[in-house]
Amino acid sequence: MKKVAGLSLILVTLVTISSWAQSSSPALYQMRTKESSVTEKRFRKILGDNYDGQDQNRRAYDDDRKRRRKKQQQSTQDTDENNGYGSGPDYAWPTHLIEMSIRFAPSLDLNTAEGTGSYTGFRSNGAGVRMSVGPSLDYFFFKNRYAFSTGLWYTIKRSGFQMPGSFGQTIWNPGAPEKESIYNLQYLQVPLTVKLFANNIAPNMRLYIQTGGLVSIKLAERALDQPRNGLYLAESGGDRRQYGFGDVEMLLGTGIQYKINQNNAFNIGFSYQRGLINVARGSQLVSKNRVVALDLGFKF
């Protein structure tokens, strides 16, 4: 009987403890949580913070999650910036499809001279420094490496000749001193070109090549040193125009673009313009323009 009573007491005690452990009472839950917290603190104090390896695993998991999140954000940013065509300066899409710049170009001008008939003996009269200024526009049609480039440039060119002393006179005098003629020709130029940008040759710096043509419309012509300008005085006292209405030229240039921030850059380069048609109005005189320019620009 005593044994049966003892076993019954043990069973009742176990059932009570099990019910207490499974109870959803807030008070009992707080007691269990408090005891668990005290026990964990004792273990940490005796064995250290990483007594069960969970902190290290948690830190490794957090670090891995941060790395994956950063990589995903970088991938999303590259996709947004480059429109899904990879990353890097060679494949990035431009922030603006159309970019404007101001061009200032001091130039060295010269011209050819071939005369027949009454213009026999004409030859070029050296070179002179002139200038060109105006806005340029680049339209990027394939990523940020290929652009159609145009603009509107006000350009002053020099055209000069050496000629026999008897030119423009009714009597031929072989002993007359030679005459000279220098004109300033004012043009409005419209470039129709393509720019090709190469790989970066340095941080924020890349090389470009420009090729195409120019349509030049003459605005005015002005004879310099009119009292001694042989071409100006030759016919009707200078009333006659000596040059045609325009020119068509080939343009070839190269340079460097240096980017100073997201929107602005400096351009510096050289260009060569070669006239393709005769600009002299006289049918017996053939003269074509040649220009070598230092191109300075600011993109905005």
Interior/surface letters 173-192, b for 16+ CB within 10 angstroms, e for the rest: eeeeeebbbbbbbebebebe
Which amino acid is present at 28?
A: L
122 φ, ψ (degrees, to nearest 5): -70, 140
Instruction: State which H helix or E strand residue 43 sits in.
Output: helix 26-47
Cβ–Cβ < 8 Å for 161, 224: no
Interacting residues of 213 by C-beta distance below 8 A, sequence separation 6+: 191, 192, 193, 248, 249, 250, 251
Q: Are 136 and 102 a contacting pair, CB within 8 Å?
A: yes
* 300 residues of the chain, pLDDT tens digit each: 555 455 555 555 555 555 544 544 454 445 445 555 656 666 566 655 555 555 555 666 677 777 777 777 665 555 444 443 334 444 455 666 888 999 999 999 999 999 998 898 899 999 999 999 999 999 988 777 899 999 999 999 999 999 998 887 777 677 778 899 999 999 999 999 999 998 778 888 999 999 999 999 999 999 999 888 989 888 666 678 899 999 999 999 999 999 998 889 999 999 999 999 999 988 899 999 999 999 999 998
**Exposed (0-12), middle (13-18) or buried (19+): which is 246, by Cβ within 10 Å?**
middle
Confidence at residue 85, expressed as pLDDT on a 0 to 100 scale: 36
pLDDT at 19: 54
Q: What is the pLDDT of residue 176?
A: 79
CB 270 within 8 A of CB 253: yes
β-strands 128-142, 289-299 pairing: unpaired
Class of the domain covering 98-299? mainly beta
Nearest Cα to Cα of residue 216 among 120, 116, 134, 94: 134
| Predicted local distance difference test score (pLDDT) of residue 80 | 46
> If we measure between CA atoms, which residue out of 84, 82, 100 comes closest to residue 92?
82
